[in-house]
Amino acid sequence: MLNKPEKSIPLFDCKTTQEVIGQQKFLDAFKTILNHGGYCQGPETKELDVALANYSGSKYCATCGSGTDALTLALMAWGIKAGDAVFVSSFTFVASAECVAIVGATPIFVDSDPNTYNMDVKDLERAIEMVKKEGKLTPKVIIPVDIFGSPCDYDAILEIAHKNNMKVLADSCQGYGSVYKGKRAGSIADMTATSFYPTKPLGGYGDGGATFTNSAEENELLKSCRVHGMSPEDHYDNIRLGMTGRMNSFQAAVLLLKLTVLDNELQARAKVAARYDNELDSYYGKQQILPNCKSAYALYTINCEDRDELMSYLKERGIPCGAYYPRPVNTQTAYAKWNTRSLPVCEKLSKTVLSIPMTPYLDKEQMDYIIGTMNEFAAQKKNRAA
Ligand SMILES: Cc1ncc(COP(=O)(O)O)c(C=O)c1O
């Protein structure tokens, strides 16, 4: 057994950024809000809308209460409803499909590519053909998910969508800061949703999210839907259905501060990932990032046949890890009625993937230990098989 590093190893690190920026700056920002009293959608949220739009290269950004809200608001703004089909990755967090059910539409689950773990474009085409042939639902939206922060094959997905008169809502809840062929998440698809849950690459200190669009009209709809469908002219006239989807000003203040170090943190995450890519034994399959793309590395995820045994081996040695996701959404109880397609790759991934520690602040000693321990497990397995 290798010697454990002195500092314990986290799977995520939601706290160190606070030390890097300086806690006093957060306290000052909170004091400003306590004094001005605009706790919901105060000046900080408006400043954040602009800062996030600028960062991602999108014309507009509407911040909101969570990534789930961000996805749901996009579908509401497009008027997606019962009778509409929305094609969504199944190897993802439940919210990618939950938003579809919330607006009353039908999720059609799509299989994943075994190398990128993202939406399989060929299977997407098959699913669209199936729905068209059945003739019961109208294909309206595709929701590809930038799983673990890695961009999907957007050129192909956008082409399929626009050819079929559909829209693409990117679920980049794990991918804020990722880059697809020179474009940052938020500026690639027709609309993009992201999450600022604390473990995300740009994580707040609580829930938060945002929806991005290049259309002024869509942005107005998003802003109306996040406050119950309120009319911009008459705040007591709600002209469409909406929700309580506002971001609070404290969260916006946190995110404005954390945005100042996001680039440094993304670079540090990429360095950690490069070490894993280069030094982890070839016994492990590694998530492939598409050419000319950069992952935001919300998570670093490998796959291996004896995942559960590896997970116990690492945990016993003080290395936290997690199986994201052990059940594809189509196999979960609340989604059984939409479990209409066979998704063999999703099923396989759910049994073989393992996410290992990924934070911008892992030091050399911690990384040596993680890599050494994983390679020790791989060597034992290979010896036994020989
Ligand atoms: C892929 C994906 N979509 C949607 C969400 C929902 O985001 P939130 O938890 O902010 O509602 C998450 C959050 O974990 C996610 O990982």
pLDDT tens, position by position, 241-285: 999 999 999 999 999 999 999 999 999 999 999 999 999 999 999
| Distance, CA of 331 to CA of 327 (rounded, Å) | 6
Exposure string for 83-98, b = 16+ CB within 10 A, e = fewer:
ebbbbbbbbbbebbbb
- Answer with the one of 221, 242, 259 that is the final residue of a domain: 259
Task: Verify that 97 and 232 share a domain, yes or no.
Answer: yes
> Domain for residue 9, yes or no?
no
Task: Verify that 127 and 252 share a domain, yes or no.
Answer: yes
Q: Is the CB of 174 under 6 A from ligand 1?
A: yes
Task: Verify that 44 and 168 share a domain, yes or no.
Answer: yes
Q: Is the CB of 171 under 6 A from ligand 1?
A: yes
| Distance, CA of 146 to CA of 143 (rounded, Å) | 10
> Domain for residue 248, yes or no?
yes
Task: Verify that 247 and 301 share a domain, yes or no.
Answer: no
Q: Is the CB of 145 under 6 A from ligand 1?
A: yes
* Cβ neighbours of residue 133 closer than 8 Å, sequence gap 6 or more: none
Cβ 60 vs Cβ 213: under 8 Å: yes
> Domain for residue 168, yes or no?
yes
Task: Verify that 26 and 90 share a domain, yes or no.
Answer: yes
Which DSSP string do the residues of 68-92 spell out, in sequence order? HHHHHHHHHHTT--TTEEEEEESSS
Cβ 57 vs Cβ 187: under 8 Å: yes
- Answer with the one of 259, 282, 317 that is the final residue of a domain: 259
Mean pLDDT of all residues belonging to the chain: 97
Q: What is the mean pLDDT of residues 185-201?
A: 98
pLDDT at 251: 98
pLDDT at 245: 97
Residue 377, helix vs strand vs coil? helix
Cβ 39 vs Cβ 250: under 8 Å: yes
* Cβ neighbours of residue 143 closer than 8 Å, sequence gap 6 or more: 71, 86, 87, 88, 89, 96, 97, 99, 100, 168, 169, 170, 171
pLDDT band at 1 (very low <50, low <70, confident <90, very high): confident
Cα–ligand 1 centroid distance for 286 (angstroms): 22
| Distance, CA of 165 to CA of 160 (rounded, Å) | 9
pLDDT at 191: 98
What number does the ligand 1 atom closest to the CA of 69 have?
11
pLDDT at 15: 92
Q: Is the CB of 64 under 6 A from ligand 1?
A: no
Q: What is the CATH number of the domain that holds 30?
A: 3.40.640.10
Examine the pLDDT at 385 and tell me if it is beyond 90: no
Cα–ligand 1 centroid distance for 194 (angstroms): 8
Q: Give the angle 71-48-243 at the CA atoms, nearest 5°.
A: 35
> Domain for residue 197, yes or no?
yes
More confident residue, 149 or 6: 149
Examine the pLDDT at 104 and tell me if it is beyond 80: yes
How many domains in the chain?
Answer: 2
pLDDT at 250: 98
Task: Verify that 255 and 290 share a domain, yes or no.
Answer: no
Q: Is the CB of 247 under 6 A from ligand 1?
A: no
* Cβ neighbours of residue 344 closer than 8 Å, sequence gap 6 or more: 111
The DSSP bridge partners found for residue 319 are none
Q: Is the CB of 66 under 6 A from ligand 1?
A: yes
pLDDT at 166: 98
Q: Is the CB of 68 under 6 A from ligand 1?
A: yes
The DSSP bridge partners found for residue 285 are 303
pLDDT at 384: 87
Task: Verify that 163 and 274 share a domain, yes or no.
Answer: no
> Domain for residue 177, yes or no?
yes
Q: What is the mean pLDDT of residues 114-140?
A: 98
- Answer with the one of 221, 239, 259 that is the final residue of a domain: 259
Tokens matching residue 94: 């439940």
Q: Which of 71, 75, 174, 299 to mutate to test the pocket of ligand 1 (most atoms within 8 A of CB)?
A: 174
Q: Is the CB of 207 under 6 A from ligand 1?
A: yes
> Domain for residue 6, yes or no?
no
pLDDT at 110: 98
pLDDT band at 289 (very low <50, low <70, confident <90, very high): very high
pLDDT band at 386 (very low <50, low <70, confident <90, very high): confident
| Distance, CA of 282 to CA of 150 (rounded, Å) | 21
> Domain for residue 1, yes or no?
no
* Cβ neighbours of residue 54 closer than 8 Å, sequence gap 6 or more: none
Give the residue numbers spanning the domain of 154. Answer: 18-259
> Domain for residue 308, yes or no?
yes
Task: Verify that 269 and 230 share a domain, yes or no.
Answer: no
Of 365, 380, 276, nearest to 318 (Cα)?
A: 365
Task: Verify that 185 and 313 share a domain, yes or no.
Answer: no
Q: Which of 93, 112, 205 to mutate to test the pocket of ligand 1 (most atoms within 8 A of CB)?
A: 93
Examine the pLDDT at 2 and tell me if it is beyond 90: no
Task: Verify that 79 and 184 share a domain, yes or no.
Answer: yes
Q: Could you tell me the pTM of the whole model? A: 0.98
Task: Verify that 270 and 254 share a domain, yes or no.
Answer: no
Task: Verify that 290 and 370 share a domain, yes or no.
Answer: yes
Q: Is the CB of 96 under 6 A from ligand 1?
A: yes
Q: What is the CATH number of the domain that holds 319?
A: 3.90.1150.10
| Distance, CA of 293 to CA of 181 (rounded, Å) | 6
